[in-house]
Structure 1
Amino acid sequence: MNAFSNDPDVYRTLLESTRAIPWKIEWATMEFAYIGPQIEQVLGWRQDSWKTVGDWASRIHEEDRQKTVDFCVAQSMQGADHEADYRALTADGEMVWIRDVVHVVRNPDGSPQALVGFMFDISERKKAEDKILQLQKELEALSYQDALTMVANRRMFDTILEMEWTKARVTAQPLSLVLLDIDFFKAYNDRHGHPQGDACLRQVARVLDASASRTRDLCARLGGEEFALLLPATGVLAAQEVARRCRKLLAQAAIPHGGSAVSEWVSCSMGVGTVVPGVHDNVRAFIETVDRRLYEAKHGGRDRIVGGPA
């Protein structure tokens, strides 16, 4: 065992037979004392082209270079072992994700004497991590989307409403809300069937989404046949105009409704409210006010709009 452990050729053979890339840098000169031949297979740069720390730094992607160098230098000066992930440039201009695992060899006084470590090609791992991250983002997006109509769901509505309420209070701008119900929707389902009812909800959602045409406008399905339009920076008259446009577009869609008592086509009842939130105003109270107006529209004959300043 002693002969084996003292044979440098054995160690070199072991190091150079792994997929990890061993290396050593002398701290005083910032020059490579050694780097494994595996570097040519992974990055394409000749083994003898790794002379100094500058060669290493120049072969890091420019977007990762400064932060990686600064981090590694700071950790090394403190004598702290560390790891760094970065994108390395290959000799033919491609890119490989590298993980550098660094050990600091220190002098008796604690100052750095040398850095030794291993480079690992983690490109496949990064691809898998990026795929998982993308799936997580897609799942998060789905969690804010109504699965049937593909507009925002109640969760998204509550989140955006809180944000827009705060923004409107800070900027002293008006915030408008339209709450609406499809008239006699239960009778629609009873007459036409639930699959056709789902199709109706999708059609109505498309109409409403088209009505909320600005980037910050939000169309959401709150549940069942109830929808909401959140209209930031929208005054009383403009909110009323949006509600009328919804009613007009829905009439133009001419979705047959054999169970309605007010129209042969699908119609809706709307409550509209506008407020410039003050420090003492409450967002839930605002919603309740608009909801009462929706109730008035429904019980006042349906297929109508009730609204104004909240």
Structure 2
Amino acid sequence: MSNDTAAMIVDSAVYKTLLESTLAIPWKIDWETLRFAYIGPQIERLLGWPQGSWLSIDDWVERMHPEDRERVVNFCVAQSKAGIDHEADYRALKADGSYVWIRDVVHVVRDDDGEVESLIGFMFDISERKQTEERLLRLQRELEALSYQDGLTGAANRRRLDAVLETEWASGRRSGRPLSLIMLDIDCFKQYNDRFGHLAGDDCLRRVVEVVGTSALRPRDLLARFGGEEFALVLPETDRDAALRVAQRCRALIAEAAIAHPASEVSPLLTLSMGVATALPSDVVAPTWLLETADRRLYRAKQGGRDRIVAE
């Protein structure tokens, strides 16, 4: 045996030892037969399947989560045919029936004629990273939800109101369905605070949100705090008559709640004044028209003696 041959054998053994001592799992697939030419023994420690059970690409496909399979296989085959190195994340089935997240990093090897000869790559266990990403995503969603929520009452805030109004206005343009908005104000709320104190006033606001938000609205409707003791109800696909019924329902529910308000100039119980506006969304006017119109009608309701609804 020549020195060069001996050196090559030693080098090959060294490379094999290095590959099989890493946490990453090396593998090689012959492109013509789509069979595994090699896969590292680490695969058994990670997934539980014997090293010798990885015979062809079919074994790789079958041991992939059904929800990931089509996306990942189509992507990897297309990239490989095009000779493009690529990466893919997916859930791999373990022998015990559970799943772990895998990242496959793939290098496409070409022959002297430029044709795809084989694929070589590494599998990495990224389960911990995925769990961290999911936690961060969940935290991001929670923070986003908080950014759209009024901190005192739990109702949507003005930012959320503006966003939903824009969205529902666009939806109404497409569907040709009306959009309604109710501006709602607690009558004589300053006197309530003066009589009972601001902490009791905060409780009162929360009670109004609870009564109106849980009993008067449909899942798609939105209750938002507009400012102070003023709230807005966005009612998608709702005409004037239906919106008026919602407003009447809100008044009735508050009356049933029988929240004492001895300092009110209107009634010994808490009451509401409301302005109702309805529009057929179009490009001619902006969604702010609803807010402005409902607010003007709310003002008229308060000027007319409070504890009433103005819808035109």
TM-score interval, normalised by the smaller of the two chains: over 0.9
Match of 1:54 in 2: 58
**Count of residues in correspondence between the two structures:** 307
CA distance in 2 between partners of 1:5 and 1:136 (Å):
53
1:168 aligns with 2:196: no
The TM-score, its normalising length taken from structure 2, stands at: 0.92
Tell me which moved more, 91-100 or 67-76.
67-76
CA distance in 1 between partners of 2:172 and 2:108 (Å):
54
1:153 aligns with 2:160: no
Corresponding residue to 2:185 among 181, 203, 213: 181
CA distance in 2 between partners of 1:250 and 1:115 (Å):
70
Within a 5 Å distance, the mapping from 1:269-288 to structure 2 comes to 269-288=273-292
Change (3 A) 1:192 1:75: same
CA distance in 1 between partners of 2:63 and 2:174 (Å):
48
Does the CA-based 8 Å contact 1:211-1:242 persist in structure 2?
no
Match of 2:231 in 1: 227
Q: Shift of the alpha carbon at 1:4?
A: 9.0
Within a 5 Å distance, the mapping from 1:257-296 to structure 2 comes to 257-296=261-300
Within a 5 Å distance, the mapping from 1:100-111 to structure 2 comes to 100-111=104-115
CA distance in 2 between partners of 1:164 and 1:131 (Å):
31
User: Could you list the per-position Cα deviations for residues 219-276 of structure 1 after superposition, in whole angstroms to 9, with x for gaps in the alignment?
Assistant: 1111211111122222222222221221121122121224322222221211112223
Gaps of 5+ in 1: none
The TM-score, its normalising length taken from structure 1, stands at: 0.92
Match of 1:92 in 2: 96
Corresponding residue to 1:65 among 63, 69, 73: 69
Corresponding residue to 1:198 among 189, 198, 202: 202
Corresponding residue to 1:39 among 36, 40, 43: 43
CA distance in 2 between partners of 1:237 and 1:24 (Å):
69
1:306 aligns with 2:310: yes
Does the CA-based 8 Å contact 1:212-1:229 persist in structure 2?
no
1:113 aligns with 2:106: no
Does the CA-based 8 Å contact 1:177-1:230 persist in structure 2?
yes
Match of 2:24 in 1: 20
CA distance in 2 between partners of 1:157 and 1:189 (Å):
26
User: Could you list the per-position Cα deviations for residues 194-219 of structure 1 after superposition, in whole angstroms to 9, with x for gaps in the alignment?
Assistant: 11111000001112213533222221
Corresponding residue to 2:78 among 74, 78, 86: 74
3-state SS, counterpart of residue 89 of structure 2: strand
Aligned residue type for 2:40: G
Q: Shift of the alpha carbon at 1:278?
A: 4.3
Change (3 A) 1:205 1:5: farther
Does the CA-based 8 Å contact 1:177-1:290 persist in structure 2?
yes
Q: Shift of the alpha carbon at 1:173?
A: 2.5
Match of 2:247 in 1: 243
Tell me which moved more, 81-90 or 2-11.
2-11
3-state SS, counterpart of residue 311 of structure 2: strand
Q: Shift of the alpha carbon at 1:5?
A: 9.4
Aligned residue type for 1:178: I
The alignment-based identity, stated in percent, is 61
Corresponding residue to 1:123 among 117, 127, 137: 127
